[in-house]
Amino acid sequence: METVVFVLMILVCFNFMLKQTYRKLVSVVVIAVVCALFVGLTWPYAIEQSKTQIADWLANPSLMLDTSVVLSVEVVLQMAFCMLAAHVQTTGVIKKRTLWSYRMLRWFPGILIFPVLFSGLVALIFAFPGVDFSKIAWSMAAGVLVIIPAGSWLIRWLLPEKEVRLELLFLCNALIAILGIIATVNGQTAVAGVGEVDWSALAGLLVLVGLGLAAGMLIRRIRTHKYINL
């Protein structure tokens, strides 16, 4: 399980760096400063952690299920950005609402990078026992401040085509979603299975699906009628 979590952390970092290639240099530098300050200022909390406590966190089903919710929300937002970016690049006339949604999602840097940075700081403190904690934290902060803009530039140089980076970002988020299910659920299920079919619940679901289909067909027919009459 620790190996899966480690791979997931690497993917989160790569996904974060890949997302920065769609932002201007000034905004990338601002995000790098925020991440560096986060690393430098959280060392008093990092030194309170232990390997046993981290292992207990990974084995806590309720905590991991809560983590999976945060991970799922971020993956959905990043995939929505990918789809909107593809729509903006291929559509001639863009609605203002779509354009504003695209801009908001482009500015969203992601929140999973912060627990990953915190975990890296904890691991770095464990790796250098006897060294001043603040020096370790601010040294890592300096590295983060340099690596984020440099890594963003390197990815943009290696993959100059926006379409390729967009597809890679989408696939990376899909892989994060799959590994996130494996890492956070950890063999636990939120709902226990049953051996009997609840026919009333099934009937209610079918009614809702039918109402949704009918409403969709009605809305489409009304829009088509308005378009024809123009």
Q: What pLDDT shows up at residue 59?
A: 61
DSSP letter assigned to residue 193: -
Tally of domains in the chain: 2
Clarify whether residues 124 and 224 are in a common domain.
no
The verdict on residue 190 lying in a domain is no
The verdict on residue 193 lying in a domain is no
Clarify whether residues 165 and 130 are in a common domain.
yes
Clarify whether residues 15 and 64 are in a common domain.
yes
**Is 129's pLDDT higher than 60?**
yes
Clarify whether residues 172 and 226 are in a common domain.
no
The verdict on residue 194 lying in a domain is no
> pLDDT digits over 177-222, tens only?
887 777 665 555 445 555 676 778 778 888 999 998 989 888 888 8
Residue 230, helix vs strand vs coil: coil
Clarify whether residues 119 and 224 are in a common domain.
no
Clarify whether residues 44 and 132 are in a common domain.
yes
Residues 211 and 217: their CA atoms lie apart, in Å, by 10
The verdict on residue 93 lying in a domain is yes
Clarify whether residues 125 and 207 are in a common domain.
no
**Is 119's pLDDT higher than 60?**
yes
Q: What pLDDT shows up at residue 142?
A: 93
Clarify whether residues 177 and 224 are in a common domain.
no
Q: What pLDDT shows up at residue 82?
A: 85
Tokens of 88: 């903006």
The pTM of the full predicted model, rounded to 2 decimals, is 0.72
- pLDDT band for position 24 (50/70/90)? confident
Clarify whether residues 178 and 219 are in a common domain.
no
> pLDDT digits over 27-83, tens only?
889 999 999 999 988 888 888 776 666 666 666 666 666 677 778 888 888 888 888
Half-sphere exposure of 180 (CA within 13 A, CB side): 21
- pLDDT band for position 143 (50/70/90)? very high
Q: What pLDDT shows up at residue 65?
A: 66
Long-range CB contacts (within 8 A, 24+) of 67-70? 67/184, 68/180, 68/181, 68/184, 68/185, 70/111, 70/112
**Is 132's pLDDT higher than 70?**
yes
Question: What mean pLDDT, rounded, does the chain reach?
Answer: 81
Domain hosting 52: range is: 2-185
Q: What pLDDT shows up at residue 146?
A: 92
Determine contact, residues 117/147, Cβ cutoff 8 Å. no
